[in-house]
Amino acid sequence: MSAASSHHLLRNQIADIPISQLAAKVNTPFYVYDEQKIIERINDLKAFDVVRYAQKACSNLAILDICRRNGAVVDAVSTGEILRAEAVGFSASGDPSPIVYTADIFDLSSLELVLDRGIHTNCGSPDMLTQLGQKAPGRSITLRINPGFGHGHNQKTNTGGSQSKHGIWHSELTDCLRIAEKYNLRVTGLHMHIGSGTDLEHLAQVVTAMEQAAREVGSSLDTISAGGGLPIPYQTEESYVDLEAYFQLWDAARKRLESQFGHSLRLEIEPGRYLVAEAGFLVAEIRAIKKMDKNWFYLVDAGFNDLARPILYGSHHPMTIYRRSAEKTNGLREVIVGGPLCESGDIFTQKEGGFVCTRSLPEAQLGDLLIIECAGAYGAVMGSNYNSKPLAAELLVRDGQVFTIRERQTFAQMTAAEHIPD
Ligand code: LLP
């Protein structure tokens, strides 16, 4: 049963560790991840030849290390993500490429790094081909194709269609093959990622689009990538994609292409959310409980500086309470949950467009903990220092033991790069 469907309103442990033990380790707010869950999720996808973790979802070095030790490779979208991958021991080259740089532009530092280390690049614009080809003719590359349609859990996470900046427009593929030829770049991979948090219906359309594009490129291809996008159930009525059915669609297309090309093709998948979302929890403390007219508010010490998904997309996260107070109450209360930031939108219970809504939670006391679930993907990584709040600590539960995998940022670290001119 998923975390979302087992929507307990009171929680006493996370990954078999009593919450009191976690809260004794670091002050709130903090993230905690369950290693076992990440490993299970990687293994769920083992039918695909390559599981390439989209580390933008949660790029803490310890999480990348778990992926490496469990047979996943990584996608990197920036210089920083390449350096993170290298820091945990992914080598720059190999077969399959342990690190692939996927982007729509090269900034100067990423171009330098990709050139220097020989990192395989998944090009999302014709200009990237030219810029790489001018400096490193002869390389193998992947083309990221925008198939002309996209779909995500939110318009902001839809990465296909003509309003999206991502990928090479499908009808420009032939032109790009010409650019590649000019610079002697060998197109060995094709990649499509139509959006994040999509569904089987839309993902299935990608298979057809990929097959068509792959036929256009021809037998230089050795890899096709299905991209990421697999949803997880944040709400009880949501569900997972049928992974077996999804794999079969891709496998059938791959086999048809293999028989046309006369050689084998590697099938990659590039999930972010699916691997880490349900493994992560954001734990905050209830610091104020107040009533505004008829509305009850629980104000906690985590804000959108810690978890931006509700304010950005109106995302729903399951929430539970851990009761630290001695006083026992059994009732439920319809509450609005907000954070500490000096901005009205700092509300965890909101719908897309900023419409505040309520959540049915147990009657809590000051000092009780609020646990925001399914927060492992696009949680800590999207944290900021708004209102000069430090980045939260991150913990990992491994084999029943708790490790600090990032300490809470200090004021000195937060201001270390700032200078007052004389
Ligand atoms: N590959 C590419 C090229 C991507 O752009 C992304 C996500 C992924 C893979 C992984 O997608 P996933 O499997 O996680 O759906 N901040 C948003 C999500 C943004 C996703 C950006 N790209 C959120 O919190 O929902």
| Stretch among 170-179, 329-338, 342-351 having the lowest mean pLDDT | 329-338
Atom of ligand 1 nearest to the CA of 153: 25
Q: Whose CA is closest to 119, among 98, 104, 88? A: 98
Query: Catalytic: 374?
Result: no
Q: Which residues, in sequence order, are CB contacts of 271 under 8 Å at separation 6+?
A: 41, 45, 51, 53, 54, 228, 229, 230
Could you tell me the pLDDT band of residue 4, with boundaries at 50, 70 and 90? very low
Predicted confidence (pLDDT) at residue 16 exceeds the cutoff of 80 = yes
Query: Could you tell me whether strands 266-269 and 17-18 are parallel, antiparallel, or unpaired per DSSP bridges?
Result: unpaired
Could you tell me the pLDDT band of residue 9, with boundaries at 50, 70 and 90? confident
pLDDT at site 326: 77
Structure-model confidence comparison of residues 7 and 194, the more confident one = 194
Handedness of CA 136, 137, 141, 146 (dihedral sign): positive
pLDDT per residue as tens digits for the range 265-324? 999 999 999 999 999 999 999 999 999 999 999 999 999 999 999 999 999 999 999 999
All domains in the chain, ordered by first residue: 9-31+277-415 (2.40.37.10), 46-270 (3.20.20.10)
Going from the Cα of 170 to the center of ligand 1, the distance in angstroms, rounded, reads: 20
Average pLDDT, the chain: 96
Quick count: other Cβ atoms within 10 Å of Cβ 61? 13
From atom 19 of ligand 1, which residue's Cα is the shortest distance away?
Answer: 157
Atom of ligand 1 nearest to the CA of 229: 15
Token pair, residue 348, equals 């965890």
- pTM value? 0.96
Residues for the chain: how many in total?
422
pLDDT at site 3: 39
Distance, CA of 302 to CA of 282 (rounded, Å)? 8
409-415 average pLDDT score:
98
Determine if ligand 1 sits within 6 Å of the CB of residue 197: yes
Atom of ligand 1 nearest to the CA of 274: 13
Decide: 384 and 31 in contact? Cβ < 8 Å.
no
Going from the Cα of 196 to the center of ligand 1, the distance in angstroms, rounded, reads: 5
pLDDT per residue as tens digits for the range 69-93? 999 999 999 999 999 999 999 999 9
Determine if ligand 1 sits within 6 Å of the CB of residue 160: no
pLDDT at site 330: 79
From atom 9 of ligand 1, which residue's Cα is the shortest distance away?
Answer: 228
Q: Whose CA is closest to 72, among 93, 92, 58, 55? A: 55
Predicted confidence (pLDDT) at residue 51 exceeds the cutoff of 50 = yes
Atom of ligand 1 nearest to the CA of 191: 3
Token pair, residue 180, equals 């590649």
Phi-psi region of 31 (alpha: psi -120 to 50; beta: other; left: phi over 0): beta
pLDDT at site 272: 98
Decide: 140 and 184 in contact? Cβ < 8 Å.
no
156-182 average pLDDT score:
95
Determine if ligand 1 sits within 6 Å of the CB of residue 157: yes
pLDDT at site 329: 77
Q: Whose CA is closest to 346, among 295, 405, 298? A: 298
Distance, CA of 114 to CA of 92 (rounded, Å)? 9
Could you tell me the pLDDT band of residue 5, with boundaries at 50, 70 and 90? very low
DSSP H or E run through 115? helix 108-117
Going from the Cα of 263 to the center of ligand 1, the distance in angstroms, rounded, reads: 31
Determine if ligand 1 sits within 6 Å of the CB of residue 101: no
pLDDT at site 6: 39
Distance, CA of 51 to CA of 151 (rounded, Å)? 21
pLDDT per residue as tens digits for the range 174-223? 999 999 999 999 999 999 999 999 999 999 999 999 999 999 999 999 99
